[in-house]
Structure 1
Amino acid sequence: MANFVLVAGARLGAWAWADVVPHLEAVGHGVHPLTLSGLADKHGVPAGQQTHVQDIVDAVDSADLRDVVLVGHSYAGVPVGQAAERIGNRPARVIFVDASLSADGEAFASGGPDGGAAMRAAIAANDGFWPVAAPAHYGGHGLTDEQVARIVAGSTPHPGATLTEPAVLTRPLSALPATYIHCLLPDGKLETAWAGLLASYGWRLVEMTTGHWPMFSQPRELSQLLLETAGE
């Protein structure tokens, strides 16, 4: 059986996977939701991007996990992609859930049409943290008001250094045995640049008819995709 290591995106922690964990455990898999340093119950712990990479590596090494399926959602795709190449032959597969992908020397904050200027400004104005998003940020993503309230209530400001420091990769991500899950809401489009990149990697691309936080909006459907993908 596989060992799923689940890493949620910015501002979130292990708690974000609460509705997914039972579906994976029900069929006998090991499930290890992870809170990265500086977030949720680890809020206040100093963290840079390499801290988050090491958090993932340590979670795998300390439990001596084998047949690992690394799952990175949103921001977590950046440290997960780096961690995957540092745990030897343990990853059976890497699954990126509507995630950012790391490139050597590039920071998460460098993405977007403004090159990350707005994110960097927000971090500078909030004592080095990316502030928690307002409820309106989650509109159009297939979430109920209750789900949005749950996300906002559980979120913590995100350590800014993890977003602005560059990724460190010794080999291209295309070398990973990976699948990319793209969430279609709100606009149903995968950016042309991303589509071309994924095609060049030769990864399987899977779509979900929901928004950027499927562990809340469609946990059962996401769990089934994770199970199907892990068995490939």
Structure 2
Amino acid sequence: MTEFVLVAGAWLGSWAWDEVVPELRAAGHGTHPVTLSGLAEKRAIPAGQQTHVQDVVDVVEGRDLHEVVLVGHSYAGIPVGQAAERIGDRLARVVFVDSEVPVDGESFASDWWAGREALEAAIDKNGGFWAPLTAADCEGQDLTGEQIARFTGGSTPHPGATLTEPAVLTRPLGDLPATYIKCLLDGDEPKPVVAELVAGNDSWELVEMSTGHWPMFSRPRELAQILSRSVQKA
């Protein structure tokens, strides 16, 4: 049985997968939604980026999971991509959902659209945490008013150190079997680092979704179907 380990992006906990989990279970898969340290019900736990990597590894090893598909959304692609190389032959595939990917020696902030300094300043201003998005920030992402309220109502401040600490990879990310899901309302093309990984690499596939950055809310059934199909690639 394939075991899906599901990790949502910034501000979110395991609850973000509540509508995806039943779809995957109905298809016969194991599901393990993860709340990373410093977020949601674990918000009191101090966390840096390597804490988040270990959170993912601990779920896999602690539950003795095999045939694992690691799923990382948005920010979580960075710790998930690092965890993927650390779980060895337990890994079947990595799925990056409209996410960042780890680059050795670089952080989430390194490639922030407004510049690293701007993100670091926002974190410092908020006591070391990245403030959650507002409802206005979620407009244009294929979310209903109810979905936006659920997203903003459940979000918690994100520990800033996880965004500014560098990733650590011991081998090229392109060596891993991977699926990258690009959500087209959040940009027509994947970032250059992702495009380079996909180009001419039989181990990687690119899948597009006509929705916004949070498909676990906007299109949970379609996302679950894509995740299930990724197993055939594993």
Give the structure-1-normalised TM-score.
0.96
Partner of 1:157: 157
Instruction: Output aligned runs, 1:134-145, within 5 Å.
Output: 134-145=134-145
Pairs aligned (count): 232
SS of 1:215's equivalent? helix
Partner of 2:212: 211
Letter in 1 for 2:153: A
Partner of 1:131: 131
Shift of 1:192: 4.7
Shift of 1:92: 0.4
1:181-213 CA distances to partner (integer Å, 9 max, x unpaired)? 000004433345542343154410000000000
**Is 1:229 matched up with 2:219?**
no
Unaligned runs of 5+ in 2: none
Q: How far apart are the structure 2 equivalents of 1:5 and 1:119?
A: 28
Q: Which moved more, 1:193-202 or 1:71-80?
A: 193-202
1:39-90 CA distances to partner (integer Å, 9 max, x unpaired)? 0000110000000000000000010000000000000000000001111111
Q: How far apart are the structure 2 equivalents of 1:86 and 1:189?
A: 29
Letter in 1 for 2:221: R
Partner of 1:10: 10
Contact 2:141 2:185 (8 Å CA) reproduced: yes
Q: Which moved more, 1:193-202 or 1:207-216?
A: 193-202
Q: How far apart are the structure 1 equivalents of 2:221 and 2:197?
A: 28
Q: Which moved more, 1:103-112 or 1:9-18?
A: 103-112
Q: How far apart are the structure 1 equivalents of 2:194 and 2:55?
A: 27
Partner of 1:72: 72
Q: How far apart are the structure 2 equivalents of 1:189 and 1:170?
A: 27
1:121-151 CA distances to partner (integer Å, 9 max, x unpaired)? 1100011000111111111110001100100
Letter in 1 for 2:14: A
Instruction: Output aligned runs, 1:35-50, within 5 Å.
Output: 35-50=35-50
Give the structure-2-normalised TM-score.
0.96
Instruction: Output aligned runs, 1:21-170, within 5 Å.
Output: 21-170=21-170
Shift of 1:230: 1.3
